[in-house]
Structure 1
Amino acid sequence: MTISTRKKTGKCAGRVLIESDAELRDILRTNLAQVRIEVIQAKNNSEALKKSQTEKPDIVILDVTIPETLEAFEQLKSSPATSHIPVILMGTEKSLSRPTKPEIKADSYITKPFDPKEVVILAQAYLRNKKRSENINQISGLPGEAQFAYEIDCLVQQEKTFAAIYLDIDNLRDFNRIFGYDQGDLAIQMAADVAGEAVQRAGNEDDLVAHLGSDNFIVVTTVRKSRTVCRRILAEFDRRKKSLYSHDDLLKGFVEHENEMGIRQQYPLIGLRAAVVTNEKTAFHHYLQIIEAASEQLEYISHFPGVTNFYDLREAGMEPTVSGVPVT
């Protein structure tokens, strides 16, 4: 993997309010700052309650070893202004076992002593899920390009290796013109469902499936899982797309329809093509670089009839390159 030497800058990934003693607040602030999570510090319960309303944090972490913290926690979860904020309670096993109102539960618990990295991982998971739910495409039900950009930026900053599977629905424009946009939306939803199910069955828990718009999707997974996920998506879409056509169209392998000039023409069936881009050998610093590399790979694939994905090319010894560097 090529490691970037650029300075890690950019807007914060989220805001976490922490109520604890000064030493622990500073330790967590230092660790969270490394992944660009801003920390709002509160030295007591009243300050935590006030800042939860005025500072609007994405997550609140409360230390139950501080007196009356559980009461403050119940107030946070009971108030309409703050009840939606995830609350993580941290403390000793004994302090965390103290009862609260049955209908009020924390979103997560951290038992002291703990590794600060546990808090970082937990905070990142909550922030990632929050952002995904905020950036939903109305047709596919998937997060969009903004979420893809955010998660790629996080992976780059953390210097993690990843694989991006770029999916393109072939011939969707003609399909929309022949069958209508409602049917086209069904094809888009089908691609979204297939990608999501493939990740659920063969990917990783925190993999991203995003809808970049129109007929393009992206799956961000690990290199090790990318081949299986990619092949599952393509095979399942090829199977399900048959429900969008008549028996005769499927037998012919095309649809006959008048073009804009009123002349009957043969139109191919829709299908999925996939490009796979990783940062194992090529460093990417921006999500648009990944899209450009994937688009170049798809253009290369289009010159080989019957080939729908990068792995078929690799096995045939025709692996594409980006700027002279192998994609994976």
Structure 2
Amino acid sequence: MKAIAIAPASLAPAVAEAIASRMDLHLFHSINEALAYIYTEPSDMIFIDGACLDSIGVRFVHEFKSNAIYRHLPVVAVFEPEALADIDWSELPIDDFVLNSSDAHLIASRLDFIALRSLREKDTNPLTRLPGNESIMRYIQKLFDEGREAAIAWVDLDHFKPFNDRYGFSRGDEVLLATARIIANAVKELKQEPSFVGHIGGDDFIFVVPVQAAKRLCEEIILRFDMIIKNFYNDEDLSQGEIISTDRMGNVKHFDLMSISIAVVMNYEGRYDHYGQVSGDAGEIKTCLKKLPGSNYMIDRRGRK
């Protein structure tokens, strides 16, 4: 990880040493210098000395955090312990803080915690708050490395784009949130390990459960989805059983109501070594599922001895 530090002279030595032992640390003595570097050399974290958080420093952090490209970067303040009593936290636009201390272990633990939380938050889907692609791949690869059997299921929504086009992105987000809750709750209620739910992006999700639970869980997810999805359509579309729209050329288009497809791949007895293999097999199953009407699931049992 690469870190930027902003301090009038030097960062507290104990804190600077702890950061440098974990990250590639670049120290700047002015906010403008730091900004110029960040815009050309993207960083993972910004540390700012409490002495820099005057009115100018606070305004800089506010402006920086309002930038859509850089707002995800965590800004961590470095304070002296005695300064805490005078801080108005409601006016301070930072994500976390570290205290200068003679306890090197305390500083190190705090930095490790902040770094790990930052990684989790960067890989969390902003809409559903489910783990994103990096966490998904790490979890599945860990399963393979440990030789654990598991059912890995790719979930996506059929005819989601026509719905989005007709009802708008806000309504589409509501469908994605409802789908995420259906999957997450079904997996949680199972109370078996391994268990995992992630959001790949858009209308694509993934979940991991024990092999013996896959069939029952797929059926439960489809049942719940088909029950609630009708609530998102107006009466006209429901009575027609489809969305009827006209494109720019005046052609009438017919789109089925949304359904859900679940492609399940089984990792039996160390069948897979890496994520790419299992993802490829899931893609083949999804192609077959897309040819079927309505909500469906398909379990790939190849590789079972």
Q: Could you report, residue by residue, the CA deviation over 1:144-183 in whole angstroms, capped at 9, with x for unpaired residues?
A: 1111111111111111111101101111121122222222
Q: Could you report, residue by residue, the CA deviation over 1:83-124 in whole angstroms, capped at 9, with x for unpaired residues?
A: 4656xxxxxxxxxxxxxxxxxxxxxxxxxxxxxxxxxxxxxx
Q: Distance in 1 between matches of 2:213 and 2:119?
A: 24
Equivalent residue for 2:172?
A: 184
Q: Which amino acid aligns with 1:287?
A: Y
Structure 1 residue 326, shift from structure 2 partner? 5.5
Equivalent residue for 1:155?
A: 143
Q: Distance in 2 between matches of 1:216 and 1:145?
A: 11
Structure 1 residue 218, shift from structure 2 partner? 0.6
| 1:285 maps onto 2:273 in alignment | yes
TM-score of the pair, normalised by structure 2: 0.60
Q: Distance in 1 between matches of 2:230 and 2:129?
A: 22
Q: Distance in 1 between matches of 2:110 and 2:273?
A: 37
| 1:197 maps onto 2:199 in alignment | no
| 1:251 maps onto 2:239 in alignment | yes
SS of the residue 1:237 aligns to:
helix
Q: Structure 2 vs 1, CA of residues 230 and 304 (structure 1 numbering), >3 Å: closer, same or farther?
A: same
Q: Which amino acid aligns with 2:147?
A: E
SS of the residue 1:164 aligns to:
strand
Q: Structure 2 vs 1, CA of residues 197 and 51 (structure 1 numbering), >3 Å: closer, same or farther?
A: farther
Equivalent residue for 1:96?
A: none
Equivalent residue for 1:299?
A: 287
Contact preservation (8 Å) 2:150, 2:208: yes
Q: CA RMSD in A?
A: 3.3
| 1:212 maps onto 2:200 in alignment | yes
Q: Which amino acid aligns with 1:182?
A: S
Q: Structure 2 vs 1, CA of residues 218 and 132 (structure 1 numbering), >3 Å: closer, same or farther?
A: farther
Equivalent residue for 1:232?
A: 220
Q: Of the candidates 125, 137, 142, which is equivalent to residue 137 of structure 1?
A: 125
Structure 1 residue 134, shift from structure 2 partner? 4.4
Q: Which amino acid aligns with 1:186?
A: E
Equivalent residue for 1:174?
A: 162
Of 298-307 and 261-270, the range deviating more from structure 2: 298-307
Equivalent residues in 2 for 1:35-50, closer than 5 Å: none
Q: Of the candidates 254, 270, 281, which is equivalent to residue 266 of structure 1?
A: 254
Equivalent residue for 2:96?
A: none
Q: Which amino acid aligns with 2:154?
A: Y
Q: Which amino acid aligns with 2:125?
A: N
Q: Structure 2 vs 1, CA of residues 266 and 277 (structure 1 numbering), >3 Å: closer, same or farther?
A: same
Q: Distance in 2 between matches of 1:222 and 1:76?
A: 43
Structure 1 residue 248, shift from structure 2 partner? 2.9
| Count of equivalent residues | 213
The answer for unaligned runs of 5 or more in structure 1 is: 1-48, 58-73, 87-126, 312-319
Q: Distance in 1 between matches of 2:248 and 2:260?
A: 25
Structure 1 residue 52, shift from structure 2 partner? 6.1
Identity %: 25
Q: Structure 2 vs 1, CA of residues 180 and 50 (structure 1 numbering), >3 Å: closer, same or farther?
A: closer
Q: Could you report, residue by residue, the CA deviation over 1:36-83 in whole angstroms, capped at 9, with x for unpaired residues?
A: xxxxxxxxxxxxx998665449xxxxxxxxxxxxxxxx957975x744
Structure 1 residue 246, shift from structure 2 partner? 1.1
Contact preservation (8 Å) 1:53, 1:82: no
TM-score of the pair, normalised by structure 1: 0.56
Contact preservation (8 Å) 1:77, 1:84: no
Contact preservation (8 Å) 1:203, 1:225: no
Contact preservation (8 Å) 2:268, 2:303: no
Equivalent residue for 2:42?
A: none
Structure 1 residue 198, shift from structure 2 partner? 0.9
Q: Which amino acid aligns with 1:164?
A: I
Q: Distance in 2 between matches of 1:77 and 1:187?
A: 46
Structure 1 residue 228, shift from structure 2 partner? 2.5
Q: Distance in 1 between matches of 2:196 and 2:205?
A: 10
SS of the residue 1:137 aligns to:
coil
The answer for unaligned runs of 5 or more in structure 2 is: 1-14, 24-101
Contact preservation (8 Å) 2:260, 2:294: no
Of 201-210 and 165-174, the range deviating more from structure 2: 201-210
Q: Distance in 2 between matches of 1:84 and 1:240?
A: 44
